[in-house]
Chains A and B, each alone.
Chain A
Amino acid sequence: MKMAAGDQAIIGRRDALAAGFRDIVGREWVLDKEAELRPYECDGLTAYNALPLLVVLPETTQEVSLVLQFCQREGIKIVPRGSGTSLSGGALPLEDGIVLGTARMNRILHVDARNRTARVQPGVQNVRVTEAVKHLGLCYMPDPSSQAIATIGGNVSENSGGVHCLKYGVTSNHITGMEAVLLNGDIIHLGGDFLGGADREFDLTGAVIGSEGLLAIITEVTVRLVPQPATARVLSLGFRSVEDASLCVGAIIAHGVIPAGLEFMDRRIVDAVSSMLGEKHSPEVEALLLCELDGTRTEVDKLVEEVEAIAREIGVAELRISKTEEERAQIWLGRKSAFGAIGKISKDYYCTDGTIPRGKLPEILKRMEGLSKKHGLDYANCFHAGDGNLHPIIMFDAAKPGDLERAEAFGEDILKACVDLGGVLSGEHGVGVEKRDLMGYQFSNIDLAQQQRFKCAFDPDELLNPGKVFPTPCRCAEFGRMHVHNGKLRFPDVPRF
């Protein structure tokens, strides 16, 4: 993966540009010294890094609007960034572009308990929303694993998922409206502050969600709040084989049960977690499923019985069912510690994020086994089985020459296999730079051209997060004249990044 070379003419104007931004946001909110820029050099995809030209930290929508107008006038690229927890390189800086950080836009502006919405600024951490409305018996359901740090703005940009997506949907099912700023400084309001607010004709709310910072800068988000479920219980189901665990996933859904969460952990993860938490599992267990059921007490108790019966029929080897909130938290602790635990058994690891149709689980797991041999690297699996969202964890040693490249090639093969099996390249981390060059594997030239034209309507100068998501520049100026014939662009030799 290569990023375009920085524009030296722009880099040479750093001081003059910093002065221009300081006029808008104030002296101390433009960072230009190397020590200040270093923390921004990468996001959660640490294999790639670059120092940004400047970091600009606006506080208000008006300031964002002025910053964007200034960037458009001067031809400066913009990389939006929340907390930098993206795992796909979406917030990877550009040497000739600014990082526009939302850290100062971190207020919960309004909680409307009766209409069950909250209006928040993009820099608010995901978990703070639920904390702010808990006393009302409400919560914000999307819960990415990084929710303690990840911001709502970032969640919206990546259409983040989490454990509860199977039953409750992803971020885009929980956003009713937003305020955003276009590159020309126009402030637009999409959707509304009520259930169904985004259901209007020509709704752009849904299209901006998951657009990875390529369309507009989000300055306010209205989230939908839902009543906290009355109760929740979790079953920990240990199976003798990965196939049995996969079978159980399909059987639960086919039975008409929609769990609040359905998570899969293989033996490697189970062992890693055991060594960290001292949690013992039967040596027979090759795969562990965690199945959470929520709702009213009567409903949950009945569903627990049903899932238990399904698991027993398949031949579950180890069964634990939470009876109290403490037990539930204890069972979940293993899953939540999984990635940290891997850090204890492998020097480095690379985690990717494809999605497959649920029924293809045994097949993709078999293919991973083969790919592991092919690339000579070990791996572990810990993923959202209920919605087919995989997070294969590839273990490598960055100090060994060629190891990172092999890990990336292994990850790439897994993602291609996901597409081959009817799935997609990214379930919740986004395409960013990580999967950018694979987009042509999932989409035809026309599919991609149509998406790039869509971007041109928002950002004709291609200054918003360029080099992300699409393997080639949009070349908006030419779209009016470009013609795609039989799926082939007239200029197949367009420059690659």
Chain B
Amino acid sequence: MTTIADNPRTLQRFCPQGVEDVTQAIAEAHAAGRKLEIVGGGTKRSLGDPVTADALLDMSGVAGIDFYEPEELVIKVRAGTPIAEIRQALAEKKQHLAFEPPDYAAFFGNPHAIDTIGGIVACNLAGPRRIQAGAPRDAVLGVEAVNGRGEFFKGGGRTVKNVTGYDMPKLLTGSFGILAVLTSVTLKVLPIQPQEITLLASGLADGKAIDLLTQVLGMPFDVAAAAHQGGVRAGPSLTALRLEGFQGDVAARRAELESLIHRVSDVRAIADEESRTFWRSLRDLSAFAPDPGTCVWRVMLPATQAARVAHAVGGEAIYDWGGAEVFIRTAVDKIEAQARMLRAMADEAGGNACLFRASPEVRKRVSAFQPKPEALHDLGMRIRRMFDPKGILNPGKLGVASNGAL
């Protein structure tokens, strides 16, 4: 197993145990101009552009469930809380984080690292159920955070309906720690459906498979996942649709969906633990174990464009979200040319391409994220300055060097 964590040198490490420690650590860093890399369990240090920092701010000590009210469908947790701990607490009440947070620890080569809720929210990462239940951005109702000046602030609340002030929860979700350090998040949770079943079609060409997924998603089947494992691969492709609900209802939808799939392919079903294992593996990109000779792209675009763009790149592809999110594993040797072509195609399709996994050197050369138009980039810089005037939080994470810019 090759680990590709950035910043291998041992940095000074701050380990706050509570909000006061966090505000103090950041206020001091702000005064001293000390740049901080923000980590929880460290599973996603290699996601994004390499960070240039003087010290680590390790948030794993700011952990625990502040409150959980199952009948209110709401939980408030501190940012460093392991996802596994949250999952377990929710499962006891037959509830879950519906956005299905992926666990990329092994994918990034750190199989023993622990995913935290702060990391998942900061990177806004969702699994296959995103098509039905949304992403973290749709589940985060409230945030508490410390900005780059060392000031503690809160935004949002604990209710689903809230338009009181700006939607800070959405702004911070997916901000990769460059605006503020999350100290707690309040999340909407949902009941776990009692039954799940997955219908699998084998050997469909990518274009045909996406057509099928698109057709199904436009009908009231209420599918809880729609994915396709295709691209250039050793075995036959696999197209998967998941249904969740109670028994009679799942059976009724399954019968109708099976007959629809039968028009284009043979179909088989897997249920319960077998189905759960299948989606866990797809969610965590288990098929793409780290390998220094390859890199992984994440392309987000209209599903109807996905097969065309993935084919132009070549390589093994995992299409999730009905095709709107595609992970492509390719050889790293022609990365610059590939990046140019893929980003142009993604842009033309109205989407974007992120170099999701590659060595720090490669990400430095190619940059992890799709470049933004100038006006949007400048706006981003201005916003960053309003939260973190000296650019001490995760400098470089979203590209641009370590001079306090993004």
Nearest chain-B residue to A158 (Cβ)?
A: B163
Contact partner of B219 among A137, A187, A250, A422, CB < 8 A? A137
| Residue in A173, A188, A450 whose CB lies within 8 Å of B134 | A173
CB of B32 within 8 A of chain A?
Answer: no
Interchain CB contact under 8 A, A299 and B126: no
Cβ-based interface call for A42 (8 A) = no
Instruction: Check B163 against A427 for contact (C-beta < 8 Å).
Output: yes
A103 at the interface (CB under 8 A from B): no
Q: How far is the CA of A480 from the CA of B155 in the complex (A)?
A: 21
A433 within 8 A of partner (CB): no
A448 and B151 alpha carbons, distance in the complex (Å)? 12
B214 at the interface (CB under 8 A from A): yes
Minimum CB–CB distance for B392 against chain A, Å: 16
Q: Do B174 and A201 touch (CB < 8 A)?
A: yes
Smallest Cβ distance from A126 to chain B, in angstroms? Answer: 16
- For residue B337, CB closer than 8 A to chain A, the reply is no
Within 8 A of B (CB), among A413-458: 422-431, 435, 439, 442-444, 446-448, 450-451, 453-458
The verdict on A169 contacting B220 (CB below 8 Å), with A161-B161, A203-B170, A457-B385 known, is: no
Q: Any chain B CB within 8 A of the CB of A295?
A: yes
| Residues of chain B contacted by A302 (CB below 8 angstroms) | 246, 248-249
A229 at the interface (CB under 8 A from B): yes
Contacts of B152 in A (CB 8 A): 446
Size band of the interface chain A makes with B? 35 or more
Bound CA span A202–B322, Å = 24
The answer to whether B175 touches A115 (Cβ under 8 A) is no
Residues of B within 8 A of A115 (CB): 214, 302-304, 324
Q: Chain A interface: which of B109-117, B327-335, B372-380?
A: B372-380
Q: Does B308 contact A (CB under 8 A)?
A: no
Instruction: Report A-chain residues with C-beta under 8 Å of the C-beta of B190.
Output: 258
Whether B303 lies near A298 (C-beta < 8 A) is no
Residue of B nearest to A389 (CB): B161
Q: Does A104 contact B (CB under 8 A)?
A: no
Q: Is A14's beta carbon under 8 Å from chain B?
A: no
Interface size for B (C-beta < 8 A) is: 85
Confirm or deny: A37 has a beta carbon within 8 angstroms of a beta carbon on chain B. Answer: no
Within 8 A of B (CB), among A160-196: 161, 165-166, 169-170, 172-173, 182, 186-190, 192-196
Given contacts A194-B302, A195-B321, A254-B71, contact A207 B134 (CB under 8 A): no
B189 to chain A, nearest CB (A): 11
Q: B357 in the interface, Cβ–Cβ < 8 Å?
A: no
Contact, CB under 8 Å: B164 / A446: no
Tell me whether A358 and B71 are in contact in the complex, defined as CB-CB below 8 angstroms, given that A165-B160, A195-B131 are known contacts. yes
With contact pairs A169-B134, A424-B164 given, residues A357 and B218 touching in the complex (Cβ less than 8 Å): no
B272 is an interface residue with CB less than 8 A from chain A: no
Does A204 lie within 8 Å of B157, measured CB to CB? no
Given A172-B170, A182-B375, CB of A387 within 8 Å of CB of B154:
no
Scoring B126, B138, B220, B222 by chain A CB atoms within 10 A of each residue's CB, the highest score goes to: B220
When distances are taken between beta carbons in the complex, the residues of chain A under 8 Å from B383 are: 204, 454, 457
Residues of B within 8 A of A198 (CB): 137
Instruction: Judge if B234 is at the interface, Cβ distance under 8 Å.
Output: no
Residue A397 CB within 8 A of the other chain: no
A-B contacts, CB under 8 A, total? 273
A477 within 8 A of B: no
Q: Which residues of chain A are within 8 angstroms of B17 by Cβ–Cβ distance? A: none
Pick from A159, A194, A256: contact of B94, CB below 8 A: A256
Q: How far is the CB of A307 from chain B (nearest CB, A)?
A: 14
CB-contacts of A91-148 with B (<8 A) = 112-117, 136-138
Q: Which residues of A contact B203 (CB under 8 A)?
A: none
Q: In the complex, A113→B215 CA distance in Å?
A: 10
Among the listed A116, A250, A296, A355, which residue makes an inter-chain contact with B161, where contact means beta carbons less than 8 Å apart? A355
Residues on B with C-beta less than 8 A from A387 are 159-161
Contact B375 A186 (CB under 8 A): yes
- In the complex, how many angstroms separate the beta carbon of A62 from the nearest chain B beta carbon? 15
Separation of A404 and B270 alpha carbons in the complex (Å): 64
Answer yes or no: B74 CB below 8 A from chain A CBs. yes
Given A197-B300, A199-B174, A258-B191, answer yes or no on A114-B375 (Cβ-Cβ < 8 Å). Answer: no
Residue A296 contacts which of B123, B167, B249, B385 (CB distance < 8 angstroms)? Answer: B249
B386 touches A430 (CB 8 A): no
Residues from chain B with Cβ under 8 Å of A137 in the complex: 218-220
Q: A199, B375: Cβ atoms under 8 Å?
A: no
Q: Which of B160, B300, B375 contacts A170 (CB 8 A)?
A: B160
The yes or no answer to B351 lying at the interface (CB within 8 A) is yes
B168, B304, B324, B373: the one contacting A451 at CB < 8 Å is B168
Q: Which residues of A contact B387 (CB under 8 A)?
A: 450, 453-454
Do A227 and B219 touch (CB < 8 A)? yes
B325 at the interface (CB under 8 A from A): yes
Query: Is the beta-carbon distance between B249 and A229 smaller than 8 angstroms?
Result: no
Q: Is the CB of A457 within 8 A of B379?
A: yes
Interface check A322, CB cutoff 8 A: no
Q: How far is the CA of A253 from the CA of B217 in the complex (A)?
A: 27
Q: Are A211 and B350 in contact (CB under 8 A)?
A: no
State the CA gap A297–B251 with chains docked (Å).
12
Are the C-beta atoms of A113 and B218 separated by less than 8 Å? yes
Verify B69–A447 contact, CB threshold 8 A: no
Q: B42 on the interface (CB 8 Å rule)? A: no
Interface residues as binary, B290-333 with A (CB distance below 8 Å gives 1, 0 otherwise): 00000000001111100000000000000001101100000000
A209, B167: Cβ atoms under 8 Å?
yes
Judge if A340 is at the interface, Cβ distance under 8 Å.
Answer: no
Residue of B94, B163, B178, B389 most packed against chain A (CB within 10 A)? B163
Q: What residues on A are CB-neighbors of B72 within 8 Å? A: 253, 357-359
Give the residues in chain B near A258, CB-CB below 8 Å: 190-191
B352 interface residue (CB < 8 Å to A): yes
Contact for A196 among B151, B219, B321, CB less than 8 A: B321
A298 touches B249 (CB 8 A): yes
Chain A, range 196-243, C-beta contacts under 8 Å to B: 196-207, 209-212, 227-230
Known contacts A195-B324, A196-B325: A424-B174 contact under CB 8 Å: no
In the complex, A357→B71 CA distance in Å?
10
Q: Which residues of B contact A389 (CB under 8 A)?
A: 159, 161
Q: Which of B232-271 contact A (CB under 8 A)?
A: 245-246, 248-249, 252-253
In A377-434, which residues have CB < 8 Å from any B CB? 384, 387-389, 422-431
Q: Do A451 and B218 have beta carbons less than 8 Å apart? A: no
The docked-state distance in angstroms from the alpha carbon of A295 to that of B222 is 8
CB proximity to A under 8 Å, residues B324-373: 324-325, 350-352, 354, 369, 373
Interface string of A321-338 (1 = CB under 8 A from B): 000000000000000000
In angstroms, Cα B22 to Cα A30, docked, is: 53
- A469 interface residue per 8 A CB criterion: yes
A484 at the interface (CB under 8 A from B): yes
Q: Which residues of A contact B404 (CB under 8 A)?
A: none
Known pairs A115-B304, A357-B158, A387-B161; A201 contacts B71 (CB<8 A): no
Complex contacts, A430 vs chain B, CB 8 Å = 163
Query: In this assembly, does B165 line the interface, its C-beta being within 8 Å of a C-beta of chain A?
Result: yes
| Set of chain B residues within 8 Å of A480, measured between Cβ atoms | 389
Q: Which of A170, A199, A250, A447 has the most CB of B within 10 A?
A: A199
For the complex formed, measure the closest distance between the CB of A461 and the CB atoms of chain B, giving whole angstroms.
13
| Distance to closest chain B CB from A293 (angstroms) | 12
User: Considering only CB atoms, which chain B residue lies closest to A453 in the complex?
Assistant: B386
With the chains together, A437 CA to B160 CA distance in Å? 23
Q: Given the known inter-chain contacts A204-B379, A296-B222, please indicate yes or no for A173 contacting B385, CB distance below 8 A.
A: no
Q: Given the complex, which residues of A lie within 8 Å of B173, measured CB to CB? A: 203, 206
Say yes or no for A356: interface residue by CB 8 A criterion. yes
Complex CA–CA separation, A425 to B321 (angstroms):
35
Contact flags B371-406 to A (C-beta < 8 A → 1, else 0): 001011011101101110100000000100000001
A-B residue pairs in contact (CB < 8 Å), sample of 6? A169-B160, A194-B300, A195-B321, A229-B220, A256-B191, A450-B387
- In order of increasing CB-CB distance, the 4 nearest A-B pairs are A206-B170, A427-B161, A256-B191, A186-B375
Taking A228-B220, A229-B220, A356-B159 as given, write out 4 further A-B residue pairs in contact, using a Cβ cutoff of 8 Å, ordered by the A residue number.
Answer: A136-B218, A439-B165, A444-B154, A446-B152
